[in-house]
Amino acid sequence: EVQLVESGGGLVQPGGSLRLSCAASGFTFSDHYMDWVRQAPGKGLEWVGRTRNKAESYTTQYAASVKGRFTISRDDSENSLYLQMNSLKTEDTAVYYCARDVNTETHAPGYWGQGTLVTVSS
Amino acid sequence: QSVLTQPPSASGTPGQRVTISCSGSSSNIEKNNVYWYQQFSGSAPKLLIYRSNQRPSGVPDRFSGSKSGTSASLAISGLRSEDEADYYCAAWDDSLSGRVFGGGTKLTVL
């Protein structure tokens, strides 16, 4: 069974940094694309970015709203996905979900974690 | 403003058939697959439809997806009270080189 568990959320001041983690289990982590998607309170879903799999050299892509501030990385030996968030803004306040692709041929988010809340406020 | 456009709300009575639309453009829906997600209040999204019209195992066949040109639709037949949730469409956008979501549709079962 695919399981994704996010952690690392919390309260941070504007301009600060935070690192989120996502522990994965139940599948061969290195075979899959992994995404981060966020949801501001009372709002819709917003794609943050993704990392491709080992076969595609772990290349990353980001939404324009976070490019240059957020960095996605992964450690296949630990079955873990990370989101390093720097220069945080109040508008980054959201629940952050990690998601695995549907399958190795369909790279949209298919399995989701329960999310971790990040609050950016002074 | 979301890149994909959905109606903010939809409603129906038990047993009815309801459709939710998702309008995009040539850089997203027309060229790429559409995905639909169901989200209950306070919970993570769940994949409902992938590759525009495919259902993951465990998703009832009451849910179906279709795509034509720059638009897509999610249809729910035999509406049930437990279908009351938020529904989101998503697609890859070639111009933005990123995934885009609709603003979500809140489905109410009257």
pLDDT string in tens for chain A (122-residue length): 999 999 999 999 999 999 999 999 999 999 999 999 999 999 999 999 999 999 999 999 999 999 999 999 999 999 999 999 999 999 999 999 999 999 999 999 999 999 999 999 99
The β-bridge relationship of strands A116-120 and A10-12 is parallel
Rounded to a whole number, what is the distance in Å from the CA of B73 to chain A's nearest CA?
Answer: 18
CA-to-CA dists, residue B81 to A29, A32, A93, B25, B76, angstroms: 37, 35, 32, 33, 12
pLDDT tens-digit profile of A46-69? 999 999 999 999 999 999 999 999
Name the residue of chain A whose CA is nearest to B41's CA: A42
Does B65 contact A at CB distance below 8 Å? no
Asked if B101 and A47 come within 8 Å (Cβ–Cβ), the reply is yes
Rounded to a whole number, what is the distance in Å from the CA of A7 to chain B's nearest CA?
Answer: 15
Q: Could you give the CA distance from residue A103 to residue B3 in angstroms, rounded to a whole number?
A: 25
Asked if A114 and B44 come within 8 Å (Cβ–Cβ), the reply is yes
Rounded to a whole number, what is the distance in Å from the CA of A47 to chain B's nearest CA?
Answer: 6
pLDDT tens-digit profile of B26-40? 999 999 999 999 999
* pLDDT in the model for residue B1: 86
The pLDDT of residue B87 is above 90:
yes
Phi, psi angle pair for A44, to nearest 5°? -85, -175
Name the residue of chain A whose CA is nearest to B99's CA: A47
**Sequence-separated (6 or more) residues with CB below 8 Å from residue A6:** A20, A21, A22, A96, A97, A98, A113, A114, A115, A116
For A78, the token pair is 């630990």
